[in-house]
A and B are shown apart, each in its own frame.
Chain A
């Protein structure tokens, strides 16, 4: 049985449709990251699961029980806020024990559970401090502690790392992953940062414009994006796109003014009842090579030490980002070689990826 199930969930704020009929199933112990640009409805979805926002339509189930209209305090779900939302007038100890006070547990039991969590997070020295006296990393840990202490059914986290500086974010990413592995808690994590998503998630849910674009493992969303949006949003730099037009002759495709190429890997496209396609290829699968098929001119080079990132302009003005480490050439005309096995193809009209099954037959 799913731990959390979201069924045809819909939310509008007046005229604005924030979440448009989404479906989602989350298994026990999964770490699910909802990833999308700001305003895509991911936080609204999370808040509806927490009970902080009432859905306009649709249902939410936790452990098979319908909780759509249940008060937030009765759902046994913990929420970690972007701003941490530590109670400023309470000490760290009081903050962490606050959810237990609500359950009217005995004082010794509260103390024992708080101390367990505090030890786990390594924040014993902070217990008597007020939130104002904490660094942002410590505030984050206290916020996590307050969520953990209750042993809730589900952890919800709304961009919990975006308030931290880059170095701390890396540390906390590792800390969150450790936490997830050790207590094996079902977690739904919202972020716009794809690195967070790729590094922590079991499953990534890519959202845009209130609609789920793709649900899959990090590997799947990276290598087999369902559509152009996902392909573009995931990866840094994102995927390169090149419009192709089938000329009708053999496997000859036009990719720019007076520029054509042919490759046996493209033959499956000729069997599709369309003429215009978009080739998508990640920067690391394009190489600068004298035997390449496509012409281009190097515009700029970013030497990053372990690799060089080239911006190459193709005839017709399209720019490709190319990651290459062997080439010594830093300017001028080059030829680009594509690793066709790693290429994705999208139809031009609906921007959906043409699936492998279609590719093969």
Chain B
């Protein structure tokens, strides 16, 4: 009994640790200016949608007082994020799964070295390759294009998805596709009809990781884009003006920014439980 209580307390502390910042940012997005800075912090306050209106530049009288002019850029940039993160995730899990399948099922010459090489692309801190990428992208006219960021995020996530998917595919006994082969299917048909359905949980987990990485990426988005292809993270950061920071608007931007990842994660939740505990529980 006592053990149960302690377990409950531990879980509560853990949850508070992870959820409090999220609560804080969501609460702030609905607070009025003075409540944001109130000490002690206010847990009961009069809510407002002003911050969101400012974010999307819905021009009410009151919003105009904050001095924002022109059209809001948040929504198009948010859509840039959706397209870039979405497409790059799709590409990296597709290519990653196929690559991992080859490594998992066939004898590949220098398999260990190749896998290490694939992983090593992940070892440099991004800032080291920032300038080279800038120069390269300028030469290739990829600066400030969606395709430029999609290729970049896909490349970064590919190493991750190859390694993760190899683990998942290794776990699927090869007898399944061998059975499909003798049952009269080609290797590709066997892969699609037999292996893919069983790899879904692994693919879901990998996709969530890739999506989060691409979705949150800040540094390359900042240096490689300016107007057309700019994503949400640098836009939110840009709300910090030179004369004081509009925390309410930042909080509303962040809250809005959280929604797609949460939605996606819940959509694939069914597959995720096994995927995330992968390697922890051996059956």
Contact = CB atoms under 8 A, between A and B. Distances in A.
Contacts, number: 54
Interface in B164-218: 173, 175-176, 178-186, 189, 194, 197-198
Contact of A99 (B175, B183, B189): B183
Interface in A96-138: 98-99, 102-103
Interface centre among A78, A81, A87 (most CB of B within 10 A): A87
Contacts of B179: 79, 81, 85, 87, 146
Interface of B: 173, 175-176, 178-186, 189, 194, 197-198
Contacts of A72: 178, 181-182
A75 B178 CA distance: 13
Contact of B178 (A78, A79, A89, A102): A79
Nearest to B172: A88
A89 B185 contact: no
A71 B197 CA distance: 24
B198 A52 contact: no
Secondary structure class of chain B's binding surface, majority of residues: helix
A247 interface: no
A88 B180 CA distance: 13
Nearest to B196: A89
Given A87-B194, A88-B198, A89-B197, A150 B184 contact: yes
Interface in A43-59: 50-52
Secondary structure class of chain A's binding surface, majority of residues: loop
Interface centre among B181, B182, B189 (most CB of A within 10 A): B182
A103 B184 contact: yes
Interface centre among B175, B185, B198 (most CB of A within 10 A): B175
A99 B184 contact: yes
Given A83-B173, A85-B173, A85-B175, A102 B181 contact: no
A77 B182 contact: yes
Interface in A136-160: 146, 150
Contacts of A103: 184
Interface residues on chain A, size class:
20 to 34
A78 B181 CA distance: 10
B198 A89 contact: yes
Contacts of A271: none
Nearest to A88: B198
B185 to A, nearest CB: 5
Interface string A73-93: 101011101010101110000
Contacts of A78: 182
Contacts of A81: 175, 178-179
Nearest to A14: B107
Interface centre among B176, B180, B184, B186 (most CB of A within 10 A): B184
A72 B179 CA distance: 10
B178 A146 contact: no
A102 B173 contact: no
Contacts of B183: 73, 98-99, 102, 146, 150
Contact of B180 (A51, A71, A75, A98): A98
A79 B175 CA distance: 10
A133 to B, nearest CB: 16
